[in-house]
Amino acid sequence: MVNEQDKEDVYNYIKSIISELDKKADRPNVVIEEVLAWTYFQKYLTKVIFEFLLEPSEPFITNGEENERITNLIHTRLIKDWEFQEASVHLRNVQNIIFNSTQTRTLLKLYQKILHEDYVPINNSPEQQELLASGLVTIEAGKFRVANRIYKQVFNQNWIDKNLNKNQQKSPKVNSVDELVPQNNPPQDSERRASEVARVFAYLFIVILGVSFISLLLFLILKSSQSSSSNSARSISACQKFSYELDEALKKPQDRLNVIKKGLLWRQEKGISLNEQCEDFRKNLEKSGITPSDMENKLNQVLRQEAQIKIDTNQLEEAVDILCKISDEYESMDDLKSIFQRWELTRGTKIQNKINQVKSSCPAAQY
């Protein structure tokens, strides 16, 4: 969760430079959104990026250039060679906090799970508290997440692997087998034989019970899959036609709404992805030596295009509704989440309320 004081400090800083920023960009508000999408209100990073932008040598940012220019600036001035860049001292400080810990390896493993968005239950353990205190991660909507996109790109899997190898912990030595095995008086022969016979019968009973259970389970799964496959599959001709319609919708805006309506109806009717519904069609293409297109992702792209029209015309509530229909399989889901986070922070209470209303059922709002 963003510290409210940090957020207020960042907003106050932006207010203090807004007049200068007006002279450096056609759309200073978009520039601000792009910067915050990278820093997520981290004070030092936010300030240093704006300082870069306000340098006299930095060219004017025209309408539509904001994303590319700011992305390039961050990569060249902060992320690239961050271990040596003067402006990247903050990133080195974050790294030092991790390295100076007495449990560096534990922190790296915990951070690795968070980086890959694995579920990590919040239990306020010492390592969780220490990692949170470093600023590298935060808690949003009851989940751990990397604190900002810059951290995510700098402290990536390569960084983790490199430093885990440096911090290999040696396993404790065992002086003898006696240290591992408790010393008990050996049982008498008759007692041992009786115990072994009982164990054999117990083992056989468990095996028989397990085999019976597995057989029943396999039967039920087979029966269920046969039933579901017949109910969920669509005809090859229907899928072929819809695949063509999706391609056309990506080229022709006038076809978009009908295709969206049809795709969402297909999802609702079967409750599974378009790729699963059209598995036979896709297999036929593969047999013919043709790589089948990702129909689910194409529908997501059509939805994204339609949402962009709403965004460009400032119909943000309608855009939220459309973006929320994009499924988890969308290849650029992280970008959508960044958009929602940015809107929630910068677009006022109306959009904040709208996002909060859909948060539980909207993949793009799950951050």
**Residues 291, 293, 299, CA angle at the centre, nearest 5°?**
175
Task: Give the per-residue pLDDT at 284.
Answer: 75
180 in any annotated domain: no
Alpha carbon 129 to chain centroid, angstroms: 22
Q: How many CA atoms lie within 13 A of 195 on its CB side?
A: 7
Task: Give the per-residue pLDDT at 103.
Answer: 93
Is residue 176 predicted with pLDDT exceeding 60? no
Please count the structural domains in the chain: 4
325 in any annotated domain: yes
Res. 191 pLDDT band, cuts 50 70 90: low
Q: Which of 216, 232, 248 is the last residue of a domain?
A: 232
Residues 217 and 259 in one domain: no
178 in any annotated domain: no
Q: Which residue has the higher pLDDT, 14 or 2?
A: 14
Q: What rounded mean pLDDT belongs to the chain?
A: 84
Residues 120 and 205 in one domain: no
Residues 226 and 240 in one domain: no
Task: Give the per-residue pLDDT at 226.
Answer: 47
DSSP characters for 245-285? Answer: HHHHHHH-GGGHHHHHHHHHHHHHHHSS-HHHHTHHHHHHH
Q: Which residue has the higher pLDDT, 168 or 91?
A: 91
Residues 265 and 307 in one domain: yes
125 in any annotated domain: yes
For range 200-223, the mean pLDDT? 69
203 in any annotated domain: yes
Residues 75 and 95 in one domain: no
86 in any annotated domain: no
Q: How many CB atoms lie within 10 A of CB 46?
A: 22
Res. 347 pLDDT band, cuts 50 70 90: confident
236-249 per-position pLDDT tens digit: 878 888 888 888 88
Highest mean pLDDT among 112-126, 142-156, 180-194, 326-340: 142-156
60-97 per-position pLDDT tens digit: 999 999 999 999 999 999 999 999 888 899 999 999 99
185 in any annotated domain: no
Residues 17 and 105 in one domain: no
20-48 per-position pLDDT tens digit: 999 999 999 999 999 999 999 999 999 99
Residues 360 and 269 in one domain: yes
Q: Which residue has the higher pLDDT, 205 or 47?
A: 47
Residues 243 and 340 in one domain: yes
Range in 35-49, 158-172, 219-233, 240-254 with the lowest mean pLDDT: 219-233
Domain that holds residue 225: 199-232
Q: Are 201 and 195 in contact (CB under 8 A)?
A: no
124 in any annotated domain: yes
- Provide the whole-model pTM: 0.50
Residues 148 and 211 in one domain: no
Cα–Cα distances in angstroms (integers) from residue 329 to residues 87, 242, 247, 297, in the given order: 37, 19, 18, 7
Residues 221 and 242 in one domain: no
Res. 222 pLDDT band, cuts 50 70 90: low
Highest mean pLDDT among 149-153, 183-187, 230-234, 297-301: 149-153
Is residue 168 predicted with pLDDT exceeding 70? no
Q: Report the distance separating Cα 33 and Cα 22, nearest Å.
A: 14
Task: Give the per-residue pLDDT at 172.
Answer: 43
